Amino acid sequence: MDEAAQGIATAALTLQSVLLQSLVQKGVLSRDDALGIVDRSLDAASNVPSAEEAGVVAEITQGCLAGVRDGLEAMPTRL
């Protein structure tokens, strides 16, 4: 994966993080619902073809989503 693609992927996952946290803060989603979304994304990232580049994509995606998940877990369950 080249640097441009990695930057785009990181930006998309950062946007996902911000949107999920905002939806939780506004009460649109529960924290558990948001964590479920991240878990489904992690599962999808884990099920990519086994080619070397796909492995790199999965590794980057999993690392970013783990950060998203950590941020959501740190949020209070109710405001």
pLDDT along the chain (79 residues), means of 10: 73 83 90 86 70 68 77 73
| Cut 0.85: pTM above it | no
pLDDT given for residue 78 in this prediction: 61
pLDDT, residue 17, reads 83
Q: Are the beta carbons of 64 and 72 closer than 8 angstroms?
A: no
Residues belonging to the chain = 79
How high is the pLDDT of residue 50?
62
C-alpha 56: how far from its chain's center? 16
Whether residue 52 is contained in a domain is answered as yes
Could you give the residue ranges of the DSSP H alpha helices within 1-79?
3-25, 31-46, 52-74
> Does the residue 34 lie in any domain?
yes
Residue 53 lies inside a defined structural domain of this protein: yes
Rounded-to-integer distance, Cα 77 and Cα 11, Å: 26
Q: Give residue 40's domain range.
A: 3-74
